[in-house]
Amino acid sequence: MGLHRRTLLTGAAALAPAVLAPERLMAQEIPREVKPQAPPSGHDAPPEAAPGATLEVMRLWPGQPPGGGGPGPGAPRFDESREGVVTGVAEPCLLVMRPARSTGTAMVIAAGGGYRRIDLGHEAVPVGRWLNTMGVTAFALVYRLPGEGWAAGADAPIQDAQRAVRLVRARARRYGYEPNRIGVMGFSAGGHLMGAASTRFASALYRAVDEDDALSARPDIAALIYPVITLKPPFDRTSSRRVLVGESPTRVATDAYSVETHVPPETPPTFLAQAADDPIAVVDNSLLMFAALRAVEVPVEMHLFERGGHGFNLGVPGSPAAAWPGLFATWARRRGFIRV
């Protein structure tokens, strides 16, 4: 199934060629009238998409992903049944959003969707366009969904995240950023995925497929926005837990895929943002991650907002949670990660 033309226009351009003929997408100019969902005006509020920004497709794996399986040969790269919502991922990839002028930084973004879908149009693309306005090269990760028949199961999206960081590091010269300024940002289930990427980067989850896999999979910073972190009770009432470890998981399984149980001292500096009234990924997720990072003395900044619910993306204008993009930008600049 091809993408609807309105699909990702909420944050970028129509992606129909990415499914059926990705080579036609290369160097496509993004319409300047398209704007991401913007937080309130201010120094760090995103203006319209950078003029001349381009959208490209980068395959993650040179052949079949580790373990094989999935939708099978001949399937489109990915399918979309609702605007901006991706399922049926047959070929995991990165959607590259290039700024008008690079300032030497890259960010890999994982949208949420409970590991049942990927909400690219709501989260990854508009956030990528906002990052473009600060000179950040953004990579939206289209990762494998464990329930779509992949032999690697719950490890499949984590393999994709590790591979994505390595590929982005390997392409630093091509895209004009520094190989030691590569971050990850995740939302909801994508926050779980990027939490795993920032803590399990040393885990050998797949055999090397080329020279790029010799590079480090460790991100240089991580930003986890309304993330799912734990799969343990009593905070385990999420789609992510059901997809990753099942309806009646063992303690071993829940420990294995709960991010807070795998936080080494080498975890990159981390930014956390969540609303206290989040009904899906309850605020305890960020609190657990904050405590785990503090326990091993990893630099961490956390912002909890009174209101915002779940899935607020860049924030509804006027809501408390709309402050997070500016707070993140300030934090990233203070760490020297973003230079504007």
Give the tens place of pLDDT for each residue, 237-280.
Answer: 888 989 899 988 999 999 999 999 999 999 999 999 999 999 99
Alpha helices (H) in the chain, listed in sequence order: 16-20, 125-132, 156-170, 172-175, 189-199, 239-245, 251-257, 284-295, 324-334
**What is the C-alpha to C-alpha distance for residues 73 and 76, in angstroms, rounded to an integer?**
9
* Confidence band, pLDDT 50/70/90 cuts, at residue 81: low
Does residue 340 lie within any of the structural domains? no
Given a cut of 50, whether residue 61 has pLDDT beyond it is: yes
The residue that leads in pLDDT, 2 or 88, is 88
The larger pLDDT score, comparing residue 73 to residue 6, is at: 73
Whether residue 186 contacts residue 268, with contact meaning beta carbons closer than 8 Å, is answered with: no
Could you give the dihedral angle defined by the CA atoms of residues 290, 293, 299 and 301, in that order, rounded to the nearest 10 degrees?
-10
Q: Is 339 a member of any domain?
A: no
Using only the alpha carbons of the chain, give its radius of gyration. 18
CA dihedral 112, 78, 161, 163 (to 10 degrees): -170
| Residue 190: CATH number of its domain | 3.40.50.1820
Task: Note the pLDDT of residue 223.
Answer: 98
- The answer to whether the CB of 193 falls within 8 A of the CB of 187 is no
Structure confidence by residue, pLDDT tens digits, 14-55: 333 333 233 222 223 222 222 333 333 333 433 333 434 457
Give percent of the chain above pLDDT 90: 72
Tokens of 15: 């992606």
**Mean predicted confidence (pLDDT) in 230-240:** 91
Predicted pLDDT of residue 84: 86
In a domain? residue 100: yes
Range of the domain at 304: 7-32+39-334
136 occurs within a structural domain:
yes
Question: What pTM value is reported for the model?
Answer: 0.85
The pLDDT-based confidence of 318 (bands split at 50, 70, 90) is confident
Angle at Cα 333 formed by Cα 337 and Cα 44, nearest 5°?
A: 125
Q: Is residue 232 predicted with pLDDT exceeding 50?
A: yes
Is residue 117 domain-resident?
Answer: yes
Residue of 206, 165, 166, 170 whose CA lies nearest to 185: 165
List the single range of 103-117, 164-178, 302-316 with lowest mean pLDDT.
302-316
> Quick one: DSSP state of residue 69?
B
Q: What is the pLDDT of residues 190-203, one digit of tens each?
A: 999 999 999 999 99
Question: Residue 134 has what pLDDT?
Answer: 96
> What is the model's pLDDT at position 18?
35
For position 54, what pLDDT does the model report? 53
Q: Which residue has the higher pLDDT, 147 or 37?
A: 147
Distance, in Å, from the CA atom of 208 to the CA atom of 214, rounded to the nearest integer, reads 7
In a domain, 292, yes or no: yes
Answer whether residue 1 is part of any domain. no
Of residues 332 and 7, more confidently modeled: 332
Domain assignment present for residue 267? The answer is yes
Domain count, the chain: 1
